Chain A
């Protein structure tokens, strides 16, 4: 069965990143309801991030952060969208693993 894509885009270094519909529904929105409807913001985070980091525990994963004003709750005005993308060793294509909203950038992950 063909994989249905939510989007595909290039990150600032020219790497192709894809987001599958199944991953979007099963792993992102199902686990993080606050992400519903934020497909465009996730894509923008990959294309034009505030920061890119390498996951400390997974050298094949890049972490993209971008400021957003779409935080849930009445008292939180700004935060970050955090998008985790896994790049396979043999292919240059990355796939979105997860995405959620956080108020801070996690320490310990090395900036790219």
Chain B
């Protein structure tokens, strides 16, 4: 298990599987250090907080995860998950806005980034968005 600089253990690998989300595309907002990984076209969703600055976007009708947002991606998330750094170095230029990735640009390194990110996030149960 990975540990950060303070010895804090990272959460266990997540349950989102690349094979089930081949339509997820990444884009990185450099200004605010946010990595988005989501279906295109984007759709209305509700957001549930996970660990380490990750937000999961759920389709409110199907309760399926349709995207994730990772706040403080370079500042915090990459520090917790150093395994991601080599993949991020290869993919960063492909996914940084305003040159966001498109289907045609889904190069191997971009796909690897999505696979790796999905390995390290764990969505909360969809029952958390049950009617208030």
Which A residues form the contact surface with B (CB < 8 A)? 27, 30-34, 57, 71-79, 82, 97-98, 100-104, 106-107
For B36, list chain A residues within 8 Å (CB): 31
Q: Which of B14-22, B47-55, B84-92 contacts A (4 or more CB under 8 A)?
A: B47-55
For A106, list chain B residues within 8 Å (CB): 49
Q: Is the CB of B53 within 8 A of A103?
A: no
Q: Give the contacting residue for A57; candidates B46, B72, B132; CB below 8 A.
A: B72
Q: Is the CB of B44 within 8 A of A76?
A: no
Q: Is the CB of A27 within 8 A of B43?
A: no
Q: Is the CB of A98 within 8 A of B76?
A: no
**How far apart are B81's CB and chain A's nearest CB, in angstroms?**
16
Q: Is the CB of B32 within 8 A of A76?
A: no
Instruction: Tell me the bound Cα distance from A101 to B132 in angstroms.
Output: 13
Q: Is the CB of A75 within 8 A of B131?
A: yes
Instruction: Tell me the bound Cα distance from A44 to B46 in angstroms.
Output: 19
Tally of chain B residues near chain A (CB < 8 A): 25
Q: Is the CB of A31 within 8 A of B46?
A: no
**How far apart are B58's CB and chain A's nearest CB, in angstroms?**
9
Instruction: Tell me the bound Cα distance from A71 to B48 in angstroms.
Output: 13
Q: Is the CB of B132 within 8 A of A76?
A: yes
Instruction: Tell me the bound Cα distance from A25 to B120 in angstroms.
Output: 30
B104 at the interface (CB under 8 A from A): no
Instruction: Tell me the bound Cα distance from A107 to B132 in angstroms.
Output: 17
**How far apart are B48's CB and chain A's nearest CB, in angstroms?**
7
Q: Is the CB of A57 within 8 A of B71?
A: yes
Instruction: Tell me the bound Cα distance from A24 to B30 in angstroms.
Output: 17
Q: Which of B51-106 contact A (CB under 8 A)?
A: 53, 55, 59-61, 69, 71-72, 75-76
For A98, list chain B residues within 8 Å (CB): 32
Q: Give the contacting residue for B128; candidates A33, A73, A82, A104; CB below 8 A.
A: A104
Q: Is the CB of B49 within 8 A of A104?
A: yes
Q: Is the CB of A103 within 8 A of B46?
A: yes
**How far apart are A87's CB and chain B's nearest CB, in angstroms?**
15
**How far apart are A54's CB and chain B's nearest CB, in angstroms?**
15
